[in-house]
Amino acid sequence: MISVPRPRRLRGGRVPGQDDPGGQETLPEEDVLRWWERAFGRGGSRLKRVAAAATRPLGMALFQGDADPPPRSRRLTFRTPRRLRPAIPFGSFSLVQVADVVLALVTFGQTVSLILAWNAEAARAHALNPVLAGPVSDLFAYLTAIGTSLPIALRDRWPLAAWRLAAMLLPVGVWVWTTVGDIRPPAATPAFSDYGPPYIFPTVLMYLLVVYSVAVRCDRRITLGIWFITVVAAWIIHPDSMAVVTVAVSVAMLFGYNVRMRRSATARLLEEERRSREAESAQAVLEERARIARELHDVVAHHMSVIAIQAEAVPLKARGDPAQLEAGLAEIRGLSLEAIAELRQVLGVLRDQDGRADTAPQPGLDRLEELLSNARAAGLAVLVERSGPIGLLPPAVGLSAYRIVQESLSNAMRHAPGATVTLDITRMRDQLRLRVANGPGTAPGSAPGGGQGLVGMRERAALLGGSLAAGPVESGGFEICATLPLTDDVENEQEAAP
């Protein structure tokens, strides 16, 4: 039997050991063990979670964490010349990396020369006073120089690896400094804290650059863990200089964290802008499709009206004459086939919010000269080349061809004023080809817009089953090539025409 303070009630509301008169309860040992597990089991889990949350930044900084990839677009990034690619393993390089490599080489040379000078001074002092420590091996001099210079060269691409390397080799530099950097007789050094800060300038510069890069490219938990490790290490190595080290490292990390937050905000803003442009482009496509559908709807409505009038007038005109009746029905059949062809080309008829639709007649290539005269009046030199007849085109094809030429000339007016424009229209058996090319303008044009005109032209060609390609040319102008298929019904009608 053992005695413990009054516990909480066990399951079932039972408080065992009520017979203890001294305010203590006498419990069997098994009941005490169960009570302890119930009382501190949950608290132990909470304590474990708190300890894990507190030590996780340290584990991420030392072993588990990784840095973010370098930014994709940089103003100071250039492609590696082809002649140097066999010697340089990277496809591109930045001036920041080149500057880091140069600084690393300078730091390496300064550190080696400084430690070798210390070794020479330590050798002279040891010769005069054998009690003093002699020079260290040159291997430690080069190892300290590597720990001071290599992290600088690695900090841009692998900042966290650079910090781990610096943290691993920093004790070597501290040991070298305490051995040959500050030579004093044993009686003059009663405590290690009486030494000056065991940090040479190249080491200080290296560490500040590395922690800055870590703060820019790593998670804030990793940054916090590195800050904590640095402060604790500074307190262990030289307590008198811990405050200065803490302030310097904190300032460098705050600058880096500020850059990281600004880059993150810029990246989010660019992503939102990209999504906005995609939404605007999708909305422009829908609006253009609605406009195209309304135009094609007008063409189809015209055919239906003509068919209705012909169906009513043919019986009255024929008056029992089989020949006239047959001719009238053939004409109605031709109009019906043409209307069906137009309906097949329409993916969907969209109406505006008010349910209204334009009923004005739509233009075709028969009004091409009017369009060209307006372009010439605006200052463009338009050269036209025709191959094959462009009459008797399907209304949808004629309308789309007219709109494509109109938009192309409008773009030339806006972006290349005074340019020479070549319009090539080729009529083949099964397709109509358009090519509109302009040279550089004689005066500066307006800035490029959102590109919705090209979107509309591509949609027009796609609705007819055709294609459209647009892009700049080597001479400095712009070229648009469109291919619009023709229906067999219209070709047959053209061949049958006298």
Mean pLDDT by 10 residues, the chain (498 residues): 45 45 47 54 58 71 78 69 71 78 90 87 79 79 90 89 90 84 52 62 90 90 89 88 90 91 88 88 79 64 64 73 79 73 55 47 78 75 85 83 85 80 89 90 65 76 88 86 75 40
The answer to whether the CB of 397 falls within 8 A of the CB of 464 is yes
What is the C-alpha to C-alpha distance for residues 53 and 20, in angstroms, rounded to an integer? 43
What is the C-alpha to C-alpha distance for residues 446 and 449, in angstroms, rounded to an integer? 8
Q: Which DSSP category does 240 fall into?
A: G
In degrees and rounded to multiples of 5, residue 94 shows phi and psi of: -120, 155
Range list of H helices, 69-200: 95-128, 138-154, 159-176
Task: Give the pLDDT confidence score for residue 50 in this predicted structure.
Answer: 63
Range list of H helices, 319-355: 322-345
> Residues 45, 51, 52, CA angle at the centre, nearest 5°?
90
What are the structure tokens assigned to 80, written together?
Answer: 């590696």
Q: Which residues pair with 204 in a beta bridge?
A: none
Q: By C-alpha distance, which of 238, 241, 135, 145 is closest to 181?
A: 135
Residue 93 backbone zone (phi > 0: left; psi -120 to 50: alpha; other: beta): beta
Task: Give the pLDDT confidence score for residue 483 in this predicted structure.
Answer: 92
Task: Give the pLDDT confidence score for residue 445 in this predicted structure.
Answer: 66
Residues 6+ apart with CB under 8 A from 234: 241, 242, 245, 246
Q: What is the pTM of this model?
A: 0.53
Task: Give the pLDDT confidence score for residue 5 in this predicted structure.
Answer: 47
The residue behind tokens 């310097």 is: 248
Residues 6+ apart with CB under 8 A from 228: 57, 58
Task: Give the pLDDT confidence score for residue 484 in this predicted structure.
Answer: 92
What are the structure tokens assigned to 269, written together?
Answer: 């803003």
Task: Give the pLDDT confidence score for residue 481 in this predicted structure.
Answer: 93
What is the C-alpha to C-alpha distance for residues 299 and 343, in angstroms, rounded to an integer? 10
Task: Give the pLDDT confidence score for residue 436 in this predicted structure.
Answer: 92
What is the C-alpha to C-alpha distance for residues 116 and 132, in angstroms, rounded to an integer? 17
What is the C-alpha to C-alpha distance for residues 425 and 477, in angstroms, rounded to an integer? 19
Task: Give the pLDDT confidence score for residue 393 in this predicted structure.
Answer: 83
